[in-house]
């Protein structure tokens, strides 16, 4: 099993932005964000988890 590694900066930014948009969509009424808030949260979490688990991502 591989040791976890820090994700690249761009991977981290994409994950954080997707997660924040999901949170914003949950608490506000913005058509696209509100409709896909849980999907955006999931994508953000998966990107961060993959960036930590896979090398050079």
* Cα(44)–Cα(1) distance, integer angstroms: 23
Give domain status of residue 1, yes or no. no
Q: Could you tell me the pTM of the whole model?
A: 0.85
* Residue of higher predicted confidence among 3 and 27: 27
Separation of alpha carbons 37 and 30, rounded Å: 10
In a domain, 2, yes or no: no
* Total number of domains in the chain: 1
Structural domain includes residue 4: no
Domain span at residue 17 reads 9-53
Residue range 18-49, pLDDT digits in tens: 999 999 999 999 999 999 999 999 999 999 99
The confidence score (pLDDT) of residue 3 equals 81
Residue 22 is assigned to a structural domain of this protein: yes
Rounded distance, CA 46 to CA 41, Å? 9
d(CA 39, CA 28): 16
């Amino acid at each position: 099993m591989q040791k976890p590694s820090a994700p690249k900066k761009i991977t981290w930014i994409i994950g954080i932005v997707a997660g924040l948009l999901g949170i914003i969509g949950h608490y506000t009424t913005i058509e696209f964000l509100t409709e896909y808030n849980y999907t955006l949260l999931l994508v953000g979490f998966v990107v961060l988890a993959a960036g930590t688990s896979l090398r050079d991502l």
